Amino acid sequence: MLVEPKMHNLQAQIIARQLEKEFSSPTGTTLAIANVDLVVNKGEFCCIVGPSGCGKTTLLRIIAGLENHTGGNLEISHFDQSKPLNSMIFQEQSIFPWMTVKDNVAYGLRRRGARNIEEIVAYYIDKVGLRTFQNSYPHQLSGGMKQRVSIARAFANDPEILLMDEPFAALDEQNKSLLQEELLRIWEETRKTVLFITHSIDEAVVLSDRALVMTARPGRIKCDLTIDMARPRGAYEIKSRSGYGEISNRIWGELRDEVLAAKQKMEAL
């Protein structure tokens, strides 16, 4: 099944057709993803949910260019060559421990010799509320603050596509909600194409335009659910809106069977 864009007047940015990845090692092979059909449009915020081990990270790493696929096709459009194509934010902090907050945020900009670096860095450090910590080192920050640095760095770098692999999974509930709202505020200003992996149905509904549910391994896109909730959205406020429970239930309805299937496969090993 091909997941076609549901919105009109949008340009496709990421197109995967029958994408496949098989890992080979001396001990055997693992088919991580197979038959992945996916279209993500420019400016869309898409979340991917799926059972553990179904190939979400593998898919994101292939799209990031960090891994090769072993079958199918992947087309990624780079509309503005003056900008980097993508930035990736991981669950574990991906900032440099030997650099201050400011230098971490400036890293990508310096590498490509961008202009107005100081200004851009200050803007995004402010956006994520870290002004008083701009000269601190990562070991002086909490987990949530480190993820804020990652977000500031990714947006300062100004890529066309943001790839986020469970960036808030290690955070406590309140920090997670705050960061979701901060991310949404910055995203609404920039409207970058975002592919965001999460295990949380709530998170997918709060953040995304579309929730893509993956099957148990080998993962493929099982269904594509539009999250038709007006923006701006608040992490808790959205829960009281009509339609919230219904869409959450629909996602869980699709995901539940896959979680069970993944569990059965694990138990059979």
Ligand X SMILES: Nc1ncnc2c1ncn2[C@@H]1O[C@H](COP(=O)(O)OP(=O)(O)OP(=O)(O)O)[C@@H](O)[C@H]1O
CA Rg value for the chain = 19
Q: How far apart are CA 39 and CA 48, in angstroms?
A: 12
Nearer to ligand X, 53 or 144 (CB): 53
Residue 32 contact partner, candidates Mg ion, ligand X, none, CB within 5 to 8 A by sort of partner: ligand X
What is the closest distance, in whole angstroms, from the C-beta atom of residue 111 to ligand X in the complex? 26
> Could you tell me the smallest distance in angstroms from the CB atom of residue 265 to ligand X?
10
What token pair was written down for 164? 């986020």
User: How remote is the C-alpha of 49 from its chain's centroid?
Assistant: 10
Using CB under 5 A as the binding rule, the residues of this chain from 134 to 153 that contact Mg ion are: none
Report how far residue 204's alpha carbon sits from residue 159's, in angstroms, rounded to the nearest whole number. 22
Query: Judged by CB, which is closer to Mg ion: 102, or 220?
Result: 220
Q: Is the dihedral of CA 210, 215, 220, 222 positive or negative?
A: negative
Quick one: what does residue 167 bind among Mg ion, ligand X, none, with the CB cut-off 5 to 8 Å set by partner type? Answer: none
Vertex 239 angle, CA 230 and 38, to 5°: 60
User: For residue 87, which of 71, 56, 109 has the smallest C-alpha distance?
Assistant: 109
Q: Which residues bind ligand X (CB under 6 A)?
A: 23, 25, 30, 32, 50, 52-58, 217
User: Which among ligand X, Mg ion, none contacts residue 218 (Cβ within 5 to 8 A by kind)?
Assistant: none
Helices (H) and strands (E) in the chain — how many of each? Answer: 7, 9
- Residue nearest Mg ion, Cβ-based: 57
Q: Which is nearer to ligand X, 30 or 248 (CB)?
A: 30
Which does residue 54 touch among Mg ion, ligand X, none (CB within 5 to 8 A, set by kind)?
ligand X
Residues from 41 through 70 that contact Mg ion (CB under 5 A): 57
By beta-carbon proximity to Mg ion, the closer residue of 217 and 233 is 217
Q: Least separation, in Å, of the C-beta of 57 and Mg ion?
A: 3
Compute the least distance from the CB of residue 269 to ligand X, in Å. Answer: 10
Q: Measured from the CB of residue 166, what is the shortest distance to Mg ion in angstroms?
A: 6
| Residue number with CB closer to ligand X (35 or 136) | 35
**Sheet order of strands, 28-41 included:** 28-41, 12-25, 71-76
Q: How far is the CB of 81 from ligand X (least distance, A)?
A: 30
Q: Pick between residue 158 and residue 166 the one whose CB is nearest to ligand X.
A: 166
Residue 215 gets which letter from DSSP?
P
Q: Select from ligand X, Mg ion, none the partner in contact with residue 41, using the beta carbon and a kind-dependent cut-off of 5 to 8 Å.
A: none
CB of 199 to Mg ion, least distance (A): 9
Nearer to Mg ion by C-beta: 57 or 157?
Answer: 57
Q: How far is CA 123 from CA 59, 147, 157, 165, in A?
A: 32, 17, 12, 24
Burial of residue 182 (CB within 10 Å: 0-12, 13-18, 19+) is: middle
Contact 101, 149 (CB under 8 A): yes
Residue ranges in contact with Mg ion by CB under 5 A: 57
